[in-house]
Structure 1
Amino acid sequence: MAAEGLREVEHGITVEAPAMAVFRLIAGLENWPRIFPPTIHVEQLECDGDRERIAIWATANGEVKNWASRRTLDPEALRIDFRQEVSAPPVAAMGGAWIVEPTGADASRVRLLHDYRAVDDDPTGLEWIDRAVDRNSRSELAALKANVERVRAEEELAFSFEDTVVVDGSAKDLYDFVNEAHLWPERLPHVASVELREDNPGVQSLRMETRAKDGSTHTTHSYRVCFPHHKIAYKQVTLPALMTLHTGCWTFVEREDGRVAATSQHSVVLNPANIARVLGETAGTAEARGYVHGALSANSLATLGHAKEYAEGRSAR
């Protein structure tokens, strides 16, 4: 029985996949932005065997929250226990577990447990947490099921790549150029308009209208997590028709020769349902992959080129 003020809830789903495959997918932090829709970015802060400390940025009821958690992985029991170190209000404390139970050679039951309480045991705060946990748990489990069950099909739909330029300038100036996205319409020809919000330092909401080579425009919405002055990670939550997932990362690494490697990395999953509509009836996965890769790479290289010009101009002063 739960202590007064402490809520304990459980959500579950059946997955047509071996239990160990499901466990490994949940255990791998690099999978989270892809398989869990609320997750924007995850960073491993510490690791000691099966114990680790991680930082998570995720949306909850339309707001971006971030927190640090500790996880204990038990591969034999197919269980991952987690506990937030410092929770974001209105959450006072939260923990739980992922438990994967085999139900057959190629099927399993995934249980997601949560226990939590609100700051000052406030009923309004508890109601907010109830909604967020229920919405996110259902979303995470449904996405986990869909992702595991279509892994083979997505092998040709998922790909990653990066573009890099070497700059005779400072990492800070390069970072500032990418971080100051509200100035992109003035600085980048392919950007038509930008709406940038940063309600909490280092966490940005970026709505952007981008021009394609044919003159058409499309609007995307991304959440960005900024780490001055070396990295900006992001996840698009409003996507062009040809993608079901787009995450990425801008990094600025100082080299031994005093120059800086500025890199734009992309991870993409194509949306096969829209390929014919966008590219024509004869187009397939290969054509869609080439089109998306080309479009994203062109925009990245354009941004990196202007960032290089900006940083080298400032270093020459």
Structure 2
Amino acid sequence: MPATHATEHSITVAAPPAVVYGLIADVAGWPAVFGPTVHVDVLEEADPERGGEQLLRIWATANGRVRAWTSRRVLDPAARTVLFRQTVPAAPVASMGGEWRVESTGDGTSRVVLLHDYRAVDDDPAAEELIARAVDRNSHAELAALKEAAEQGELRDELHFVFSDSETVAGDAGDVYAFLDRADLWPQRLPHVSRLDLTEDEPGVQHMDMDTRSPDGSVHNTTSIRVCFADRGLIVYKQLKVPVAMSGHTGRWEIEPLGDGTVRVTSWHTVTLDPEGVRTALGAEATPAEARALVRKALGTNSSTTLRHARRFAEEARARA
């Protein structure tokens, strides 16, 4: 018989069960909460009030690599459970499923239980060990991140924010995409990028190690994973190494044809500030509002610079055609 393995991880969270369950149910927001999750496409959505089935495509890191798989989830808001099962696993996983359970402890706190069951392709012992390490590492990381996010309470609204910058380009969407996709050429094309190493796990899944030069001359290093969708004019990314004032940063580049020969290209950022990091970087009296303004300016300046250069690249390409 195939060897199916089962695990259980749990954590106590000082937050109401409804808050904790809401973070688990909001799978599109997982990249901003859970470290291993890079991107989630919601292919079929469940009713937010009554629950039901979701179909998802998930990209996440496991043992240092990006894995992608398709999963089906069943949400039950009344019971505060989420069942999940991979419908198209990524090797060496032959099958993977489990359940999130959020239980009330009766004192305003919650107990979260995360169950997994899995089987390796051909029941290979080496693959089983690899999967076991990934499940254990990611489960601990996800539960710790869930606890941190839930326990922030109302402060999370101050620490978590989204913003965007856009350019309208009189050029072709394919040329704009090509400029953004070829990040390995950014040190030659963008004034604020001093170094960038780019590798690919597979076509469309990029690892970036980048040094960015600030207006004051200082250089900041970030590492990111990008997932590129050429057919959709979309590049999503997650920073694995972020500046000290942040605990998380995800983003995306969207290219939208406007139907009149132009395209709109937009840079989106989703940022979560780190309160301790804010005090370290800006001083003990610094407020989240001050940090938001500074982060917005720094990231927006770099994004706007990239957008302007992408516009010039695409418009010059059209002029030469």
Bucket of the pairwise TM-score, normalised by the shorter protein: over 0.9
Q: Which ranges of structure 1 fall in alignment gaps of 5 or more residues?
A: none
The aligned residue for residue 208 of structure 2 is 206
Matched, 1:260 2:263: yes
* Cα distance in 2 for residues equivalent to 1:9 and 1:23: 20
The aligned residue for residue 297 of structure 2 is 294
Asked whether the 8 Å contact 2:2–2:123 carries over to 1, the reply is no
* Cα distance in 1 for residues equivalent to 2:45 and 2:29: 17
Matched, 1:269 2:272: yes
Query: Which 10-residue stretch deviates more, 181-190 or 281-290?
Result: 281-290
Matched, 1:128 2:112: no
- What SS is found at the alignment partner of 2:79? coil
- What SS is found at the alignment partner of 1:186? helix
The aligned residue for residue 239 of structure 1 is 242
The aligned residue for residue 166 of structure 2 is 164
The aligned residue for residue 110 of structure 2 is 108
Q: 2:38 aligns with which of 37, 40, 45?
A: 40
The aligned residue for residue 9 of structure 1 is 7
Letter of the structure 2 residue corresponding to residue 34 of structure 1 = A
* Cα distance in 1 for residues equivalent to 2:253 and 2:289: 26
The aligned residue for residue 223 of structure 1 is 225
Identity %: 51
Calculate the aligned-residue CA RMSD, in Å: 1.4
Count of paired positions: 315
Distance 1:11 1:168, change over 3 A: same
* Cα distance in 1 for residues equivalent to 2:280 and 2:129: 43
* Cα distance in 2 for residues equivalent to 1:139 and 1:311: 41
Letter of the structure 2 residue corresponding to residue 110 of structure 1 = V
What is the TM-score when the length of structure 1 is the normalising length? 0.96
Deviation (angstroms), 1:289: 1.4
* Cα distance in 2 for residues equivalent to 1:201 and 1:312: 27
* Cα distance in 1 for residues equivalent to 2:3 and 2:284: 58
Instruction: Encode CA deviations 1:7-59: one digit per residue, 9 max, x unaligned.
Output: 01111111122212211110112321122110011111123652111010100
Letter of the structure 1 residue corresponding to residue 304 of structure 2 = L
Q: Which ranges of structure 2 fall in alignment gaps of 5 or more residues?
A: none
Instruction: Encode CA deviations 1:206-234: one digit per residue, 9 max, x unaligned.
Output: 11000000011010000111111411011
* Cα distance in 2 for residues equivalent to 1:278 and 1:98: 36
* Cα distance in 1 for residues equivalent to 2:265 and 2:284: 38
Deviation (angstroms), 1:280: 4.2
Deviation (angstroms), 1:4: 4.3
Letter of the structure 1 residue corresponding to residue 9 of structure 2 = H
Deviation (angstroms), 1:106: 1.5
The aligned residue for residue 79 of structure 1 is 81
Please list, as runs of the form range in 1=range in 2, the aligned pairs for 1:304-315 lying within 5 A after superposition: 304-315=307-318
What is the TM-score when the length of structure 2 is the normalising length? 0.95
- What SS is found at the alignment partner of 1:316? helix
Letter of the structure 2 residue corresponding to residue 15 of structure 1 = V
- What SS is found at the alignment partner of 1:68? strand
